Structure 1
Amino acid sequence: WTDIYAIGACIYASMQGYPPNDAPQRLEKDRLSLALSRLRGVYSDNLIEVVEWCMSLDPLSRPQSVFALQKELNREVERSYTKLTVAEKMRLQFDNLVADKAKSGRKTGAGTRPR
């Protein structure tokens, strides 16, 4: 469960630009919901709820497995993808193809010049 909390804390830090207060500090004065509420409109409500879920002070209220968390994060990706326009989806697919091609070129050494 501490791993799940840590994942939530990492996502929080990525969203805020700084890490959250540690759990003992939060037990005294929990400002997580307030801090995350300021991010509504910047990030999806679902992603914010996932972070709150992962960082619940009660370990039994957190996702009980990495699989459960992964499933919810995949839903978030699907929701975001379906909101894209056709042009944005095509651009994303193109960018992924280019990135995959670049990765495979680095693995085989293709595209490198002899010195």
Structure 2
Amino acid sequence: MMCNAARRYLTVLMVLVLGASSVTMAVARGQTRAAGEIVICSGYGLTAITVDAAGNPVSTVHICPDMALALFTAHQAAPLVIERPEGRVSDLILVEARLPESWIPVELHARGPPRLI
């Protein structure tokens, strides 16, 4: 009896968490994206004001969940540059693959279905 009640409460809790997180994701997708930032240096320090394409100030931009994965690739190191080796390849020597002397081929036998199930 206690197990059933705990299972019901846990199910309701999981449904509420799923509903709340999906609404949060939908709100994040609907936010306007900022076009830039204006940094003002005053006697109190630096202040950054986020502006839209028309130059009007907008509220602070939160990370949109659709673009959040791009943050992982934003700080990657520069791609490696593979340089061509100097010199020329004049002779190409092909080597045959050989099996060891002790190698004995094994015959494979397929097995049928079991007699009794």
- TM superposition score normalised by structure 1: 0.23
**Would you tell me which structure has more helix in proportion to its own residues?**
1
Identify which of structures 1 and 2 has the higher relative contact order when contacts are C-alpha pairs closer than 8 Å and 6+ apart.
Answer: 1
Please tell me whether Structure 1 or Structure 2 has the larger radius of gyration of its CA atoms: 2
